[in-house]
Amino acid sequence: MQDAHRSRRSAFVRFRTFRGVILLVVLVLVLAGCRSRSRPTTPKATGIHDNRPQVWTQSNARIRKFVRVYSRNHHVRICLERAQDNGYVPYIHRVFYKHRLPPELVYLPLLESCFDTKADSGHARGMWQFVQGTAREYGLRVGKSFDDRLNWRKSTHSAARYLKWLGERFNYNWELALAGYNGGPNYLARQMKQQGTWNYWELNLREETYKYVPKFLAMLEVARQRYPDLYYEGGPRFWIAAR
C-alpha cells in the first residue's frame, strides 16, 4: 500500500516537473518572439543608401578645426532653433526617407542657409540654395514673378531627388556627393579624373568645396554633442536605430 502511494506521489511530482518545464519553454519562446518583433530593421531592409555610415561621425584635423569654430559661436544653435520653431526637420525627414537618403542629409540647410527659406546668395536661393538651372531641372518654377526655390516644401522634394541622383552618380560616397552638391557634379568628376582618386580627403579642390564637407560634418558633430534637445533624428523609429 505504501509502495503504491509512493509510486503515485512520484508520478505526480514528475508530472508537475514536466508541466513546469513546458511552461518555461513556452515563456522563453514568447519572450524571444517579442524580442524579434521589437528588434530594429537592418540597414539592408530599410534600403537606406549609405555604403559607409561611419562617414557621419568620423573625425580628422580638417573637421576638428571647424568643430572648434562652431563650438565657440552660436550659429548651429540659432539654425537648429529656427528649424525647430518652424517644424522643418520632421517634414524633411519624411521626404528624405521616401528616397532612402541618409538622415544626416536632413541637416544640410545648416550649412546652406541656416534653415532660412528666403536665403539669397545672389546666384542661389532658398533653404536648399538652388541655382536656377538645377532648380528647373528638378521641377521648380523660376520666373520674374515667382520662384519655387523659396517654397521650402517644394524645394525639399527637389533637393531629395537631386541628392539621390548625386548619391547614385558617386556610388553613394556621400563625401563626394556633398562636394558635388556644392561645386557641381561635373567639376568634381573632372577633378577626380585628373587627380586619380575617389577619396574626397585627397582631392585638391577650390576653397569653398574643399571646406564644404568638413564644415558640414563639424556642424553635425556640434549639433549632436552640444544641442541634443534640438537635434531631431526623427523619422520612423527604426530609421536611426537600424543604422
- 146-169 per-position pLDDT tens digit: 999 999 999 999 999 999 999 999
- List beta partners, residue 120: 125
Question: In the chain, what is the straight-line distance between the N-terminal and C-terminal CA atoms, in Å?
Answer: 69
Q: Catalytic positions, please?
A: 112
- List beta partners, residue 131: 124
* pLDDT the model gives residue 232: 78
Cell numbers for 84: 525647430
Cell numbers for 56: 557621419
Q: Based on the number of CB atoms within 10 Å of its own CB, is 137 exposed (0-12), middle (13-18) or buried (19 or more)?
A: middle
Mean pLDDT across 191-206: 98
Of 94, 102, 95, 151, give the one whose Cα is nearest residue 128: 151
* pLDDT the model gives residue 47: 73
Give long-range contacts, CB 8 A cutoff, 24+ apart: 183-186: 183/208, 183/209, 183/212
Of 234, 198, 219, 240, give the one whose Cα is nearest residue 90: 234
Task: Give the containing element (helix H, strand E) for 130.
Answer: strand 130-131
- Answer for the pair 123, 131: CB distance below 8 angstroms, yes or no: yes
Cell numbers for 87: 517644424
**Arithmetic mean of pLDDT over the chain:** 84
* pLDDT the model gives residue 99: 95
Of 206, 230, 203, 201, give the one whose Cα is nearest residue 217: 201
Please state, as a whole number, how many other Cβ atoms lie within 10 Å of the Cβ of residue 81: 14
Confidence check: pLDDT of 170 > 90? yes
